[in-house]
Structure 1
Amino acid sequence: MAESFLRLLYASWLPAASFFAGVLNSIAGGGSFLSLPALFAGSAAIGIGAVMVQATNTVALWPGQLTGLIAFRKELREYGWELLPLGTAAGIGGWIGGFLLLRTGNHMFRQLLPWLLLFAAVMFVLSFPLGRWLQTLSGGKRHNKLLIVGMVVVSVYVGYFGAGGGFLVMALFGICGVHDIHEMNALKVLTAAVSIGIPAVSFILAGKVEWRFCLVMAILAALGGYVGAHYSRLINQAIMRRTVAAIGFMTAAYFFVQNYAAHPVR
């Protein structure tokens, strides 16, 4: 009876979490704060390891990044081949991150998960004040070489975990002197699609995707992304980001408690 109830709860929670994850990603980011716990909730009952959960989440949320490419296609065409070096850097970093995830054991990733979530939540809280300060570090100059190297480093994190990666990319732009809003949007969309897409392909080829849930998540996340983008102008961005950060802290706390309950300190 209890197992049946948990399966029913999981079956209803995951679709809802996937839809709202797409909404959050299109408005403020942080969709993984919802989709990851939903996947982990039923992982023990259906035999999915922690690494497969993360890989499935990455693949499922990738279509939402592709819709961003479509939305910014005009800006991307304007920059053309100038985007190739940065896109390549994002792809290399994303592949390294995906490679590292596949080499991480389930137990190790479960131990790292709350710390990764906590880091992502802190990044959301600091996004506005830290972002303004980082923009002053460029000294009014454009540092293209630093941008390429930095994109590789940031994309390693994106390929490995992803949550909060959007802010890290925006912070990198500020440090390297990229301040034009149209260019920032184009670069962010491109690098996100590549740094998530490359490891997603790696996870698929490695057989680390649970397709029974991934396909449903992908469809609902893409639908949520469309709805979120359509109504984003009606939503207070600052309040939304604080809400996302609060969800992130609660999710991190939940996994800290889960890890402690499974392995109490003696």
Structure 2
Amino acid sequence: MGIGEVAALLGVGLAAGTINTVVGSGTLVTFPTLLAFGYSPVVANVTNTVGLVPGSLSGIYGYRAEIAEFRAAGGKRLVRLVVASLLGAAVGALLLFLLPAKAFKAIVPALIALALVLIIVQPRLAKRVAARREAKGDGVRAGGWGVLLAVFGSGMYGGYFGAAQGVLLMAILGLTYSDRLQVLNGVKNILACVVNAIAAVVFITVGALGLGGSQHPSVRWGAALAIAVGALVGGKIGASVGRRLPPRVLRGLIIVVGLVAIGSLVL
């Protein structure tokens, strides 16, 4: 790795850590950057997932007060959500190695496109969530099997390829619980961290044992470390001042980067 690559990965790691804490689409910044430096799609995915874990932890720490509020309001609901995310992430990460590498390259453009659609419709979705919350009052719904299955599905998606899983989680949580949005954002950070961490463990283990075969190489640790350092700082920024970023500017940047990523994979 050259100095330029390290500097670029530090920069996009910082941006991704901030974005993930605020909205949850940081992969759409780091993944195409890794592709641009010549990493194969699967290597870029596993390296990116491992590198973003520290940023998720930083975001959780920044939202610790909101997370405590969620726990205090509803018994074991956080535990149930974490378990659903954990199981989904494990399944999604294993699918990355069970399916052919060519399948990943074919599937990911569609997943990125889905992520971009979610980002585009997020403002309207947020308005619907707010209207639903106002209509049902201040009561906190416990959520049932429906929300657990939805969170499991989100975890499976994130374990396979995590772009915009935070947007998806906020939609699920917002339509299920009536807690403050900042509280739900803190919960989103926990669930996204669980997904990234479990997927990272699977990727590292499979790579270390050589179980993935030649089609699924292991993590590129130099690149992962550079992203991790940037994401760790970015997660802190996202939790403190990232809420002040203009939403339209942030969404516009992510959409442009996502389109570039799709182009890098299909052209």
Unaligned runs of 5+ in 2: 208-217
C-alpha distance in structure 2 between counterparts of 1:56 and 1:176, whole Å: 33
C-alpha distance in structure 1 between counterparts of 2:243 and 2:158, whole Å: 27
Residue from 97, 113, 116 that aligns with 1:118: 113
Q: Are residue 129 (structure 1) and residue 120 (structure 2) matched?
A: no
C-alpha distance in structure 1 between counterparts of 2:148 and 2:231, whole Å: 30
Q: For residue 263 of structure 1, what is the aligned residue in structure 2?
A: none
Contact 1:27–1:237 (Cα < 8 Å) also in 2: no
Contact 1:65–1:193 (Cα < 8 Å) also in 2: yes
Shift in alpha-carbon separation, 1:62–1:255, aligned structure 2, 3 A = same
Q: How far off its partner does 1:209 sit?
A: 1.4
C-alpha distance in structure 1 between counterparts of 2:61 and 2:85, whole Å: 19
Shift in alpha-carbon separation, 1:244–1:159, aligned structure 2, 3 A = same
Higher relative contact order (CA 8 A, sep 6+): 2
Q: Are residue 238 (structure 1) and residue 233 (structure 2) matched?
A: no
Unaligned runs of 5+ in 1: 1-5, 258-266
Range that drifts further, 54-63 or 201-210: 201-210
Residue from 52, 55, 60 that aligns with 2:51: 60
Q: For residue 14 of structure 1, what is the aligned residue in structure 2?
A: 9
Q: For residue 261 of structure 2, what is the aligned residue in structure 1?
A: 251
Q: For residue 3 of structure 1, what is the aligned residue in structure 2?
A: none
Q: Are residue 174 (structure 1) and residue 152 (structure 2) matched?
A: no
Q: How far off its partner does 1:24 sit?
A: 2.5
Q: How far off its partner does 1:8 sit?
A: 6.8
Which amino acid letter does the alignment assign opposite residue 226 of structure 2?
Answer: V
Which amino acid letter does the alignment assign opposite residue 108 of structure 2?
Answer: L
The CA RMSD measured in Å over matched residues stands at 2.6
Shift in alpha-carbon separation, 1:8–1:216, aligned structure 2, 3 A = closer
C-alpha distance in structure 2 between counterparts of 1:229 and 1:183, whole Å: 12
Q: How many residues align?
A: 248
Contact 1:121–1:245 (Cα < 8 Å) also in 2: yes
Residue from 61, 69, 78 that aligns with 1:70: 61
Contact 2:89–2:195 (Cα < 8 Å) also in 1: yes
TM-score by length of 2: 0.81
Contact 2:115–2:163 (Cα < 8 Å) also in 1: yes
Q: For residue 219 of structure 1, what is the aligned residue in structure 2?
A: 229
Q: How far off its partner does 1:126 sit?
A: 0.6
Shift in alpha-carbon separation, 1:228–1:76, aligned structure 2, 3 A = closer
Which amino acid letter does the alignment assign opposite residue 204 of structure 2?
Answer: I
Percent identity (aligned):
28
Contact 1:124–1:164 (Cα < 8 Å) also in 2: yes
* CA deviations over 1:168-203 (Å, ceiling 9, x no partner): 111112332444335413321221111221111111
Q: For residue 94 of structure 1, what is the aligned residue in structure 2?
A: 89
C-alpha distance in structure 2 between counterparts of 1:8 and 1:91, whole Å: 36
Q: For residue 28 of structure 1, what is the aligned residue in structure 2?
A: 23
Shift in alpha-carbon separation, 1:233–1:100, aligned structure 2, 3 A = closer
Range that drifts further, 186-195 or 16-25: 16-25
